[in-house]
Amino acid sequence: MRSFISSFKKNSKKNWILTWCGTIFLIVIIMFLVEFFWRKAGHVPKVIDDKALWAIERSKINFKNPKTVLLLGKSHIQVGFSIDTFNTICPDYQIFQLAIAAGASPVAVLNDLAVNTDFNGIIICEMSTEDFFKKNWGTQQEYIEYLYKNYNLNAQINRQISTFFQEKLVIMNPNLNLYNILENLVINHAFPTPQHVIMDSRRDYYADFTKYNRNKKNDRLAIFNFLESKYRKQFDAKNNFSISTYNKPWVVPLKVEDQWLYEAEAVVSLAKRINDRGGKVVFVHFPISKQMAAEYPKNLFWDRLKKDSSVEMIHFFDKKSLNQYYCPDGAHLDFRDTPGFTKSLINELIDLNFIE
């Protein structure tokens, strides 16, 4: 019977050795040239975020150490908080970036820490007003599910090798794959320009807004690259997420701000649960533009929750030291501003006795 692919018939050993040596030689040459080309064009190596990288950071946490600091939230804190600055000011603390740029609300991660762990360290939880709405609670849940169902040694090793290459080589950046290059050539008639956002293996973002071009698709999507149709679909699917430990009867208030307050109290209950066992949780509203902030007037939403809340809450509007920064895209700080902002935030936390 004729065998179509696996048949084996003797061919010269020398030919096969030459074939594969030739292949390796050509590959090395081509990769070197492409790497050289992109570096010359200003591109730098960049680690690409995903669930496995998040899970690696999450699995490093020492839950018994009260001097552990966790950063929860979304892109605002990933871009706006400088881990290097924090480490310089607070060398005794261990800090982990658990914010998820792709997720709108960190409630699922907060819920996991409150319910499934005995964490009693410090949580800086970046929350915008809309993140308290129940409809947004489940947006980071898929990361929790990945952690418990799919994350294992294999995923960890694979991700660590991937991170190693991404840290060293520009060509490992998927934004520079042939699809994107072709798309850029067709739409912009040019090769992709260096992105204004890069991330390191600690999941710390650096946004250089001097390279930001609002009209370029790649730049618009650099931070919100998951907020496309696929993510939206998952977002809708997760709306059933609920906080199992919150037992107050559910009511349907008439006004949106009342509904928000009711739902926000459930989120606060999670923070309280961590506080009750010796942890410290603070909700921080990071700087955004006035236009974005006007969507949810502070006095109708944030201030009402803060008034009766047993959990610390910091709104950038209330603190002069935090309100002096400009967000070039309306929601994120430039990397030149993040050390100053981080320092100011740490000072606020020292005032609250969160950090010694």
Partner 1 sequence: MLFNSYTFILFFVILLFLHYLPLKWKVKKFNLLIASYLFYSAWNPVFVFLIWISTIVDWFSAKKIYNTEKKIIKRSFLFLSLLTNLGLLSFFKYSEFLLDNFINLLSVFGITFHPAMPDIVLPVGISFYTFQTLSYTNDIYRNKLNPAGSFLDFALYVTFFPQLVAGPIVRATTFLPQCKWPKKPDFEMIGWGASLFLLGLFQKVVVADGLLAPVAEKVYDNANIPNTITAWAGTLAFSGQIFCDFAGYSTCAIGVALCLGFVLPDNFKYPYAAIGFADFWKRWHISLSSWLRDYLYISLGGNRKGTFRTYNNIMATMFLGGLWHGASWTFVAWGCFHGFYLIIERVLKKIIPSSTIWSLSPVKILLSSFTFILVCFTWVFFRSHNFKQAFSIIKSMAGGNGQGVNLLSTYDMITSFTMIALILITHWIMRDRSLKEITLSMHWSLRSVIFSTVLILIIFLSGEHHAFIYFQF
Range 259-267, long-range pairs (CB < 8 A, 24+ positions): 259/133, 260/129, 260/132, 260/133, 260/296, 260/301, 261/301, 261/304, 261/305, 263/132, 263/133, 263/134, 264/132, 264/301, 264/305, 265/305, 266/134, 267/107, 267/110, 267/127, 267/132, 267/137, 267/243
Which helix (H) or strand (E) covers residue 85, if one does? helix 83-89
The residue (of 177 and 242) whose beta carbon lies closer to partner 1 is 177
Does residue 162 touch partner 1 according to CB under 8 A? yes
Residue pointed to by tokens 């509203």: 285
Over the window 281 to 320, marking each residue x when it contacts partner 1 by CB under 8 A and - when it does not, the resulting string is ----------------------------------------
Q: Pick from 286, 338, 332: which is nearest to 313 by CA?
A: 286
Does residue 3 touch partner 1 according to CB under 8 A? yes
Residue pointed to by tokens 């490992």: 172
Does residue 161 touch partner 1 according to CB under 8 A? yes
Does residue 244 touch partner 1 according to CB under 8 A? no
Does residue 40 touch partner 1 according to CB under 8 A? no
Quote the distance between the C-alpha of residue 176 and its chain's center: 21
Residues 205, 78 contacting (CB under 8 angstroms): yes
Q: Which two tokens stand for residue 203?
A: 């999941």
Among 62, 65, 88, 152, binds partner 1 (CB under 8 A): 152
Among 40, 189, 214, 230, binds partner 1 (CB under 8 A): 230
Does residue 353 touch partner 1 according to CB under 8 A? no
Among 179, 189, 254, 299, binds partner 1 (CB under 8 A): 179
Residues 66, 277 contacting (CB under 8 angstroms): no
Does residue 171 touch partner 1 according to CB under 8 A? yes
User: For the chain, how big is the Rg over CA atoms in Å?
Assistant: 24
Does residue 8 touch partner 1 according to CB under 8 A? yes
84 contacts: CB under 8 Å, gap ≥ 6: 204, 339
Among 42, 66, 174, 330, binds partner 1 (CB under 8 A): 174
Q: How far apart are CB 228 and partner 1 at their closest, in Å?
A: 11
Residues 292, 328 contacting (CB under 8 angstroms): no
Among 168, 232, 233, 277, binds partner 1 (CB under 8 A): 233
Regarding beta strands 197-199 and 205-207, do their DSSP bridges make them parallel or antiparallel, or are they unpaired?
A: antiparallel
User: How many whole angstroms separate alpha carbon 250 and alpha carbon 259?
Assistant: 10
The residue (of 178 and 251) whose beta carbon lies closer to partner 1 is 178
The residue (of 190 and 254) whose beta carbon lies closer to partner 1 is 190
The residue (of 186 and 252) whose beta carbon lies closer to partner 1 is 186
The residue (of 29 and 350) whose beta carbon lies closer to partner 1 is 29
Regarding beta strands 68-72 and 94-97, do their DSSP bridges make them parallel or antiparallel, or are they unpaired?
A: parallel
The residue (of 54 and 302) whose beta carbon lies closer to partner 1 is 54
Q: Report how far apart, in Å, the C-alpha atoms of 210 and of each of 18, 48, 95, 339 are.
A: 49, 21, 28, 17
Give residues 16-35 in contact with partner 1 (rule: CB under 8 A). 16-23, 25-27, 30-31, 34
The residue (of 177 and 324) whose beta carbon lies closer to partner 1 is 177
Does residue 59 touch partner 1 according to CB under 8 A? no
Q: How far apart are CB 48 and partner 1 at their closest, in Å?
A: 11
The residue (of 37 and 317) whose beta carbon lies closer to partner 1 is 37
Q: How far apart are CB 149 and partner 1 at their closest, in Å?
A: 8
Q: How far apart are CB 59 and partner 1 at their closest, in Å?
A: 17
Residues at the contact surface with partner 1, assessed by CB under 8 A: 2-13, 15-23, 25-27, 30-31, 34, 152-154, 157-158, 161-162, 171, 174, 176-179, 183, 229-230, 233
